[in-house]
Amino acid sequence: MASQHLDGIRVLDLSRVLAGPLCAMMLGDLGASVIKVERPETGDDTRGWGPPFSEHGQSAYFLSANRNKLSLAASFTDPADRALILELIAECDVVVENFLPGALRRYGIDADALLAQHPRLIWCTISGFGPESLRPGYDFVVQAESGWMAITGEPDGDPMKMGVAMVDVTTGKDAAIGILAALSARDRAGARTLPSGERRVHVSLATSALAALVNVAQNGLVSGSDARRWGNAHANLVPYQLFRAADRPFVIAVGTDAQWLAATRALGLDALANDATLAANAGRLAQRERVVAAISAHVVTDAAASWIARLESVGVPCGVVRGVQDAVQDALNDANFSVTDAARYGLPPLWNGSARHEPPHCGEHTVTVREKRWLSFGNFT
């Protein structure tokens, strides 16, 4: 059964690019009705971020974050369009936007005033560097400034960004969590009106990125030393990294001392298994080079599948390094969601969510929304 937990919740998506649209899409996956407001003709910036483009002319980037939405083409500078947007806000539960401070207010769309005017409205702003900063928020810049790049890449190489815009993704998820918390608080309040401050959700790329440093940041706070790059190794665990088998690379992720003993026995490395100085992780961490060298020299003698079979048989976490196409194809073995569906809708929704509608073309539902407002979702299945 596809998730419809947010059935009846109306979301106005005024955001562009990735973090905001991803947040709104997640709410749509959970059953909310989402109207995406876009610039006439050009639409969301990501509509032009290609190739690749789908057979219907949609950029792959746009497809990844915009299913389960209707698209309304409207201009903030047009009085009639602005009046329509304010009407939609008056009737919705949640607004998601990522404009710079003051930008919407210049067009007569004032979050504080609207929250005061509409006592059940929840307003989520996603920014780059906080509610007072006029700096535009770009994932790459935040990865650089938050410490992510300093800890990513080979130890003797350049700082490296992640292969996915994970700051945007993390922030979008944080925004969705904040909105769900506000909706829950609003429902618990019942007839009592929540103060506007409790209905104002603000997340930023910078704070989401810092929070996502989790154990790496805590290591620095506890030790007093700055974090460094470990490549495909782990700062706190050994062995927990990539190794090269005879045919392809694979990873071993030993997280407990029991897994260490099981791994060394399964790999046939009895000398390591019997060494009492390596029985605890702290000892392996102190002898990292010796442990890694011994495993590396041994596993290169056989195929990755052989080592993985042995390790999995004793419950040691491990896996081959696969390409994106292989990983995606494997995830789409679910009979309820095909490769064709993924090309149209994006990857399968989380939480057993529902891909009810493929990402819209710019302004595809403008006439319908203008005529029926939120009632346009009556046939949106």
* Nearby residues of 18 by Cβ (< 8 Å), 6 or more positions away: 46, 65, 139, 165, 168, 169, 172
Strands across the sheet containing 122-127: 70-73, 33-38, 10-13, 94-97, 122-127, 200-204
Task: Check 139, 168, 187, 257 and give the catalytic one.
Answer: 168
Annotate 306-353 with DSSP letters as a single string: HHHHHHHHTT--EEE---HHHHHHHHTT-TTS-HHHHHHH-SPPSTT-
d(CA 188, CA 287): 54
Active site residue 168: yes
d(CA 319, CA 22): 29
Q: Please check whether residue 134 is in contact with residue 100, taking contact to mean a CB–CB distance below 8 angstroms.
A: yes
CA distances from 167 to 177, 215, 317, 331 (A): 15, 17, 27, 23
Tell me which residues are annotated as active site.
168
